[in-house]
Amino acid sequence: MGLPRYVAARVVWAAVVSLVIVTITFGLMAAAPNPAVQEAATQAALEGGDPEEAVERERELRGLDEPLHVRYADFLRGVYTLNWGWSDLQNRPVSEALSEALFYTAQYSVPWTVLTLLIGPLIGVYSAANMYSWRDHLATGVAFFGYAIPNFFFGIILLLLFGVYLEWIPVVYNTDVAVFSLENARQLAIPVFVLVTGSIGAIMRVSRNESAEFRNADFMKTAKAKGVSPLRAYAYHVMRPTMVPLSTTVVGQLLAIFLGSSLLVEVVFGIPGLGRLTFDALIAQDTNLVLGTTLLFTFVAVVGNLIEDIVFTVLDPRISYDDR
């Protein structure tokens, strides 16, 4: 099996996984009572009407009286055509609300991901090159400080310090500023800093341990004996093999922070992104919007793991596709 067939097989498997998740989601929704139906029955009872008639009318209006397989087919068609229903909280289609929230989430998640991928491995390699020295202890301490402190608490402290006392950054997030502007960079600097410090710890640890293993290998001694500069030797003979096991840690760590910590950061800083949208939808019990955000996060996780498998295979040429 060559690389193209392996990639195609992984894509098909990712599609199967997403289908299983969507099917489980439909099963849970079908088994759970619909809040709109219950609300219609309560409203009819309060107004002196017939609750059972109101329930039947609401079920017919929402297509709940259809056979289960018909509802499942309609659900699949809606999910994969991005027709995820209407959001009562946002008073617009769910897909439209998600696309706008994704726009604001991308403004801080893109620089956060780039900085994490650059800073984390570099700190790890730097620590391995200066192992057990004060430089190693300083780099390790800085990396694990952000990993240990809760992101939402760290964000509140920095917001109070730089926003309230020093007044260097705006306390309230402004959605009217241009994306590529100094004002937008100011209001996103602290959220990006909080997420970067929270994500480089695990990446730094893996890259440090792997780099320490390769820095004393025979091929490094040969490279140094041939007069190869330390920077070039580390770049070609340490960084590349380090990135193979690091690729799994990077994807898992970034997905965990994106799905969890970003929600808290958006709530703290008032960013109207996916995390804040999910929080508001849960509070308002907006079923369609909660379903939409859950499916979006699920698809992001599936695609992230697919990219992880492909990157892992490309970085390590020793992998045999026949065994996978």
pLDDT tens digit sequence for 71-89: 888 888 888 888 888 887 8
CB 173 within 8 A of CB 271: yes
Domains of the chain: which residue ranges?
3-93, 95-323
26 or 161, higher pLDDT = 161
Residue with tokens 């007044």: 167
Residue 74 tokens read as 């309609």
Least confidently predicted of 35-44, 104-113, 191-200, 264-273:
35-44
Say what the pLDDT of residue 233 is.
74
Across 296-318, average pLDDT: 75
Give the model's confidence band at 306: pLDDT under 50 very low, under 70 low, under 90 confident, else very high: confident
Q: Rounded distance, CA 45 to CA 59, Å?
A: 17
* pLDDT tens-digit map of 185-199: 998 999 989 888 888
Residue 263 and residue 282: Cα distance in Å, rounded?
12
78 neighbors 84 (Cβ within 8 angstroms): yes
DSSP β-bridge partners for residue 93: 86
Task: State the architecture of 95-323 in CATH terms.
Answer: Orthogonal Bundle (1.10)
pLDDT at 44: 73
Token reading at 313: 């295979």
Write down the pLDDT at residue 121. 82
CA angle in degrees (0–180, nearest 5) for 30-35-41: 115
Cα 25 to Cα 21, 74, 95, 274, 290: the distances in Å are 6, 14, 17, 19, 11
| Confidence band, pLDDT 50/70/90 cuts, at residue 105 | confident
Give yes or no for a contact between 300 and 258, defined as CB atoms under 8 angstroms apart.
Answer: yes
In the chain, what percentage of residues exceed pLDDT 70?
A: 89
* Residue that is written with structure tokens 């397989």 in the block: 69
Structure tokens at 213: 């293993």
What was the pLDDT predicted at 254?
66
Q: pTM, whole model, 2 decimals? A: 0.77
Q: Yes or no: say if 156 and 164 are a contact pair by the CB < 8 Å rule.
A: no
Half-sphere exposure (Cβ direction) of 90: Cα atoms closer than 13 Å: 26
The whole-number average pLDDT for the span 103-122 is 85
Contact assessment for residue 112 and residue 193, using Cβ atoms and an 8 Å cutoff? no
Q: Using an 8 Å Cβ cutoff, are 303 and 13 in contact?
A: no
Contacts of 90 (CB under 8 A, 6+ apart): 96, 97, 286, 289
In the predicted model, what is the mean pLDDT of residues 217-225?
75
Closest CA to 129 of 222, 58, 15, 215: 215
Q: What pLDDT sits at residue 176?
A: 86
Q: Give the E-state strand segments of 110-184 in sequence order.
A: none
Distance CA 168, CA 166 (A): 5
